[in-house]
């Protein structure tokens, strides 16, 4: 009884003391961690910054682009992925008169990243999940709906989409519309009737596979790549027969050479990419089977060389301690024969990626004068912060110049092709690495840039962010996330989240840049009228002067813009500009998914830096089309 009484008395005391002590410790730790967070921005010594071109003179493109019929048949406009239109009715002198032509609601509230297509006086729009396809009749006032097609992807697929349930668009070829559903089906729909021609299941959500990318159709093959670098998928690119939907070839990102389609024709430029079965040997045993490296980004095609170019995604998990080795062939670029899928060359932008630097961004195929010699190049603005100019015949890196603040590397060694990582910026288990720039979504994520033949410049929508990251051990459970990292992002120096930058690919320098409060998560569009279009996450659709970046016109849409602007010649012979509004995607998940930003690690670390986005914009998908009066 006495013991009872004593313990009754002493218990609360001890507890109070414990509470006191732990509060003191907590206060100490909190202030320490707050201090450390505030200090993050000073962890940026040795930061690489982009160079600015002081005396830019417009140097029109000297090469040849594919003929332009005023239509828009694939998201990137042409196989070279320029997103450049020769239409010039809308130009720097009249663009300020642009007015609404018509609108169309998709009735959906998630992120709208797709590019509308325009073919034969019909506009085609693919929505985020449930991936409806709408055809609008441009010959009639107000562009009424011609038909809609519903593939009815399973709602469960939403659980394996890492970064909102987006879709980046369709491709048109020979009377058919081709696109992918979130639940891993490639569909072929008759462009006139909206009737399904074929539907092929190419992946399995129970393995974490999903598809968000826009396919391209080249030489009778539909090229489709998988998403799921945050789910431990084993990445692949497939070519489907455009007529039948039958899989013609599958090129895996990792695994034995025969799976990666590496054979005698494989001649990488750099020594580290040569060797037998590197897709197995550069991983711990069996880790390549769940090692990520999807192909969810953009595909370009060079008909002359008969090669397709695409980047591979990040290795999984983000916790890099789980996968010692170079993790081939993730975070790099493949050139493959479009007929057979054989790999012709490969280059790894971020060997043993430490920061989720997928290499899936667009590759713009151009012929540019480099050191006095015209080279067949591809231009690739990578997540790791560099714009790469590469010889697309052999994979040689000709230049790699920073286009955003970089602390995670010191440059690219052009002799060896190796990214020069900064050792103290490596996140590991139990240690927080701070001041990491660029962040997991990269200096630039999927949002595609545009190239103007008039100015010779590349227009890059991108991020201006840094992050802290700590890796944690993670279990692989098929169909669930396989990430293993705590991430918190914040604005990079400058105190804003994004930029729209005009970039000279020959000098490797910034010509002008327009800062934005948020990451610029929309695509870019360049036109022969010397007007460049892009959208902001708070909903402004803008036209700027291609030469000097002067804002010429803007329109506030109903939601934030993360779509891809396109332009086309209507049935009346006039030029129109179209954009989907509807915020979401990884950056906009806080609005599209209603996330709680008190947890800064929400949306894989994106929520904290986007915490004020809900004050600026709301959900809601809507097409806006503009014309001159």
Partner 1 sequence: MIYSRLLLATSLAAVATLAACNREERELRPSPSASQVVNQAQVSGLNPGANPLPTPPTPSIYEESAYAVSEGKTLFGQYNCSGCHANGGGGIGPPLMDNNWIYGSQPQNIFTTIVEGRPNGMPSFRNRIPEYQVWELVAYVRSLSGLLPKDVAPSRNDQLYVKPPEASMPKQTPTGITGEPSK
DSSP character for 588? H
Q: Please give the Cα distance from 59 to 134 (Å, whole number).
A: 40
Token pair, residue 270, equals 């750099």
Q: Is 227 in the site for partner 1 (CB under 8 A)?
A: no
In the block, residue with structure tokens 């892009």: 534
Helix (H, G, I), strand (E, B) or coil at 8: helix
Q: Is 40 in the site for partner 1 (CB under 8 A)?
A: no
Select the residue interacting with partner 1 from 472, 496, 549, 616 (CB under 8 A). 472
Token pair, residue 522, equals 């929309």
Q: Is 22 in the site for partner 1 (CB under 8 A)?
A: yes
Q: Interface with partner 1 by CB under 8 A: which range of 267-275, 279-287, 306-314, 476-484?
A: 476-484
Handedness of CA 607, 159, 227, 588 (dihedral sign): negative
Helix ranges (DSSP H) in 261-298: 278-281
CB count within 10 Å of CB 316 equals: 33
Task: Output the smallest distance, CB 16 to partner 1, in A.
Answer: 12
Binding mask 489-528 for partner 1 (x = CB under 8 A): ----------------------------------------
Which of 26, 49 has the CB closer to partner 1?
26
In the block, residue with structure tokens 């990445």: 235
Q: Interface with partner 1 by CB under 8 A: which range of 160-168, 268-276, 323-331, 526-534?
A: 160-168
Task: Output the smallest distance, CB 555 to partner 1, in A.
Answer: 31
**Which of 248, 310, 259 lies closest to 288 in space, CA to CA?**
259
Pairing mode, strands 465-471 and 485-491: antiparallel
Binding mask 605-624 for partner 1 (x = CB under 8 A): --xx----------------
Burial call 370-386: b when 16+ CB within 10 Å, e when fewer:
eeeeebbbbbbbbbbbb
Region 120-159 residues binding partner 1, contact defined as CB under 8 A:
155-159
Decide if 314 is catalytic: yes
Which of 12, 369 has the CB closer to partner 1?
12
Q: Is 386 in the site for partner 1 (CB under 8 A)?
A: no
DSSP character for 116? P
Which of 33, 244 has the CB closer to partner 1?
33
Helix (H, G, I), strand (E, B) or coil at 338: coil
**Which of 413, 386, 368 lies closest to 377 in space, CA to CA?**
368
Beta-bridge partner residues of 429: 471
Task: Output the smallest distance, CB 242 to partner 1, in A.
Answer: 31
Q: Is 35 in the site for partner 1 (CB under 8 A)?
A: no
- Site size toward partner 1 (CB under 8 A) is 51
Helix ranges (DSSP H) in 242-282: 257-260, 278-281
Task: Output the smallest distance, CB 255 to partner 1, in A.
Answer: 24
Q: How many residues does the chain have?
A: 629
Q: Is 428 in the site for partner 1 (CB under 8 A)?
A: no
Select the residue interacting with partner 1 from 126, 502, 603, 609 (CB under 8 A). 603
Active-site pick, 91, 314, 327, 530 = 314
DSSP, residue by residue, 403-468 = SS-B-SEEEE-TTT--EEE-GGG--BBTBEEEEESS-TT-SS-S---EE-TTT--EEEEEE-EEEE
Q: Is 479 in the site for partner 1 (CB under 8 A)?
A: yes
DSSP character for 172? E
Q: Interface with partner 1 by CB under 8 A: which range of 119-127, 303-311, 469-477, 509-517?
A: 469-477
Binding mask 544-573 for partner 1 (x = CB under 8 A): ------------------------------
Active-site pick, 326, 356, 358, 516 = 356
**Which of 65, 68, 150 lies closest to 566 in space, CA to CA?**
68
Q: Interface with partner 1 by CB under 8 A: which range of 368-376, 406-414, 478-486, 575-583?
A: 478-486
In the block, residue with structure tokens 């910054």: 49
Region 161-190 residues binding partner 1, contact defined as CB under 8 A:
161-162
Task: Output the smallest distance, CB 425 to partner 1, in A.
Answer: 15
Select the residue interacting with partner 1 from 295, 604, 623, 625 (CB under 8 A). 604
Active-site pick, 78, 173, 230, 499 = 230
Which of 22, 276 has the CB closer to partner 1?
22
Decide if 230 is catalytic: yes
DSSP, residue by residue, 77-104 = SSTT---EE---SS-TTTGGG-EEEEEE
CA–CA distance from 365 to each of 216, 448, 451, 500, 508 (Å)?
15, 14, 10, 21, 16
Task: Output the smallest distance, CB 352 to partner 1, in A.
Answer: 22
Query: Catalytic residues, which ones?
Result: 230, 314, 356
Binding residues vs partner 1 (CB under 8 A):
1, 4-5, 7-8, 11, 22, 26, 30, 33-34, 37, 155-162, 230, 432, 468-470, 472, 474-475, 477, 479-483, 486, 488, 589, 593-604, 607-608
């Amino acid at each position: 009884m006495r013991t009872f009484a004593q313990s009754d008395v002493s218990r609360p005391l001890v507890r109070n003391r414990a509470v006191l002590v732990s509060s003191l410790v907590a206060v100490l730790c909190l202030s320490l961690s707050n201090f450390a967070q505030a200090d993050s921005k000073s962890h940026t010594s040795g930061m690489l910054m982009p160079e600015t071109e002081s005396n830019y003179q417009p140097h029109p493109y000297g090469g040849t682009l594919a003929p332009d019929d005023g239509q828009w048949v694939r998201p990137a406009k042409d196989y070279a992925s320029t997103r450049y239109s020769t239409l010039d009715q809308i130009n720097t002198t009249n663009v300020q008169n642009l007015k609404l032509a018509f609108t169309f609601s998709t009735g959906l509230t998630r992120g709208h990243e797709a590019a509308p297509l325009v073919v034969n006086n019909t506009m085609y729009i693919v929505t985020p999940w449930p991936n409806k396809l709408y055809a609008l009749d441009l010959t009639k006032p107000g562009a009424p709906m011609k038909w809609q097609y519903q593939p009815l992807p399973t709602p469960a697929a939403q659980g394996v989409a890492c970064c909102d349930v987006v879709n980046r668009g369709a491709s048109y070829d020979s009377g058919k519309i081709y696109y992918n559903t979130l639940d891993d089906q490639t569909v072929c729909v008759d462009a006139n009737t909206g009737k399904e021609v074929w539907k092929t299941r190419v992946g399995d959500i129970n393995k974490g596979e999903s598809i968000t990318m826009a396919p391209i159709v080249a030489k009778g093959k539909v090229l489709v790549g998988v998403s799921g670098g945050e789910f431990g998928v084993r990445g692949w690119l497939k070519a489907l027969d455009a007529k039948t939907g039958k899989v013609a070839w599958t090129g895996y990102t990792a695994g034995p050479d025969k799976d990666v389609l590496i054979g005698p024709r494989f001649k990488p430029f750099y020594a580290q990419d040569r060797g037998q079965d590197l897709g197995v040997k550069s991983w711990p045993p069996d880790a390549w089977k769940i090692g990520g490296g999807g192909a969810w980004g953009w595909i370009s095609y060079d008909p002359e060389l008969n090669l397709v170019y695409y980047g591979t995604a990040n290795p999984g998990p983000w916790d890099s301690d789980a996968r010692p080795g170079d993790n081939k062939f993730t975070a790099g670029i493949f050139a493959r024969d479009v007929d057979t899928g054989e790999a012709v060359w490969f280059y790894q932008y971020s060997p043993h990626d430490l920061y989720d630097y997928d290499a899936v961004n667009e590759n713009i195929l151009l012929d540019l004068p480099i050191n006095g010699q015209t080279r067949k190049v591809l231009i690739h603005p990578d997540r790791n912060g560099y714009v790469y100019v590469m010889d697309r015949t052999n994979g040689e890196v000709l230049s790699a110049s920073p286009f955003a603040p970089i602390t995670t590397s010191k440059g690219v060694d052009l002799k060896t092709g190796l990214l020069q990582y900064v050792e103290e910026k490596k996140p590991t288990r139990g240690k927080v690495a701070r001041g990491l720039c660029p962040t997991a979504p990269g200096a630039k994520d999927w949002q595609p840039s545009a190239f103007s033949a008039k100015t010779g410049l590349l227009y890059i929508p991108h991020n201006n962010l840094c992050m802290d990251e700590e890796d944690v051990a993670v279990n692989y459970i098929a169909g669930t996330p396989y990430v293993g990292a705590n991430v918190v992002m914040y604005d990079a120096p400058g105190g804003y989240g994004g930029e729209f930058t005009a970039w000279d690919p020959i000098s490797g320098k910034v010509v002008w840049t327009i800062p934005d409060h948020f990451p610029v998560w929309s695509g870019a569009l360049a036109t022969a009228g010397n007007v460049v279009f892009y959208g902001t996450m708070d909903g402004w659709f803008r036209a700027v002067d291609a030469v000097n970046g002067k804002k010429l016109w803007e329109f506030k849409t109903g939601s934030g813009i993360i779509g891809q602007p396109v332009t086309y010649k209507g049935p009346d012979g006039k030029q129109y500009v179209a954009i989907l509004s509807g915020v979401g995607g990884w950056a906009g998940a806080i609005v599209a998914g209603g996330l709680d930003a008190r947890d800064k690690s929400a949306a894989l670390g994106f929520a904290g830096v986007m915490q004020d986005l809900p004050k600026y914009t709301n959900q809601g998908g809507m097409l806006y089309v503009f014309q001159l009066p």
